[in-house]
Amino acid sequence: MPEEFAIGIHDLSVATTRYVLTHDTLAAHNGSDVAKYHKGIGQRSMSVPAADEDIVTMAAAAAAPIVARHGVDRIRTIVFATETSVDQAKAAGIHVHSLLGLPSATRVVELKQACYSGTAALQFAIGLVHRDRSQQVLVIASDVSKYELGNPGEATQGAAAVAMLVSADPALVRIEDPSGMFTADIMDFWRPNYRTTALVDGHESISAYLQAVEGAWKDYTDRGGRTLDDFTAFCYHQPFTKMAHKAHRHLLHYCGHDADEDAITRHIGHTTTYNAEVGNSYTASMYVGLAALLDNADDLTDQAIGFLSYGSGSVAEFFAGTVVPGYRSHLRSDMHRDAISGRQDIDYAKYREIHEHSFPVDGGDHPVPRETTGPYRLAGLFGHKRIYEPR
């Protein structure tokens, strides 16, 4: 894409939770060898939201630095991607819009398709900026992943939010055409409306993911996309970080390339560093990987990055982006590292208490204790209404 038509990610900001449960603590409770987590799935800890934290508070915390840097005058749209919505009707982004004080002349919408919808939000935002290059779109992906205690998926839980400002002449990554698409009706992971925790068929989910890698890549190349050798790095959706390794190995084999571990690590190693610490953040996961890559890799100026976004059920998309000269001066590397390193370690009893907490459904007043150190908090549930406030 010629630079004069370039649209992409102008700013990127990551937020996570107050608490963290390490996999050492989880392994000690379960009587498991911690290598099952550290080496088997590539996870070291999981972010755990405090009682007054949720997808809205993380989203607002991620978006606030972007608004502070760029102002609100050009932001005409918020697209909020999540699969752990707090309401069946009202978009979570409206709460963020209020907390950040954005103008009333703003459209706000919420998107859902498992872990994929953050990419749908990004692509929708690009389309809006194509219509009016003076506008910017605030894209937010925020999720809390939760499984039943003792479930095989428990060790992959996590929480994080990513906010991205999409604009013309982006300062970080130019998003390219074409995109490769793939959809198949598969019940590999789902959460019915009557459940607070997800259901997953682990083996089916891995198989579905790898099938989607092939399908999205094939469509991408059929539509004239780059060759595999064009890419310096790849960002994958990471339900657990070893899944990114599996996916990239599968893509290399599919394309007839050698899939030695050194090549895989060279292509995706930096993208897994944050996800290994925060756990699965569903819609935010791939973009947490992008933040980690930009923050930690050697100079990526003018280098191509491949993105494979996957959401169970299933939908996938492969697309490319090129890193913009001067991008390093716009990064938030220290803020991201501080957000991860600054979490408070909790024991298993505290984690279990948080995991088992739920609001009564009687319509009464249910204030929430002050725990978060983030800029925004969930004050409570009052008459079935979630009330948010600055901390």
pLDDT in tens, 361-370: 999 999 999 9
Average pLDDT over residues 113-125: 98
Positive or negative, the CA dihedral 200, 201, 206, 209 is negative
- What residues are annotated to the active site? 83, 115, 237
**Is residue 145 scored above 90 in pLDDT?**
yes
pLDDT single digits (tens) 236-274 = 999 999 999 999 999 999 999 988 899 999 999 999 999
- What is the average per-residue pLDDT within 333-349? 98
- The per-residue pLDDT for 238 is 98
In this prediction, residues 139-154 reach a mean pLDDT of 96
186 pLDDT more than 70: yes
Q: What is the pTM of this model?
A: 0.97
Which residues lie closer than 8 Å to 283 by C-beta, 6 or more apart?
Answer: 81, 82, 83, 115, 116, 117, 118, 141, 142, 143, 311
pLDDT category at 68 given cuts 50, 70, 90 is: very high
Predicted confidence band at 5 (pLDDT cuts at 50, 70, 90)?
confident
**Which residues make beta-bridge pairs with 253?**
none
Residue-level pLDDT at 2: 52
Q: Please, which pLDDT band fits residue 4 given cuts at 50, 70 and 90?
A: low
Task: Tell me the mean pLDDT in the region 125-141.
Answer: 98
- CATH node for 3-390: 3.40.47.10
pLDDT, tens digit, for every residue of 289-326?
A: 999 999 999 999 999 999 999 999 999 999 999 999 99
Q: Tell me the mean pLDDT in the region 326-353.
A: 98
In order of 27, 191, 205, the CA distances from 147 in angstroms are 16, 10, 15
Among residues 4, 163, 149, 187, the alpha carbon closest in space to that of 68 is found at 163
Torsion of CA 293, 56, 10, 338, to 10 degrees: -40
What pLDDT does 342 receive? 98
The answer to whether residue 1 scores a pLDDT higher than 90 is no
Q: Which residues, listed in sequence order, are joined to residue 139 by a DSSP beta bridge?
A: 79, 164
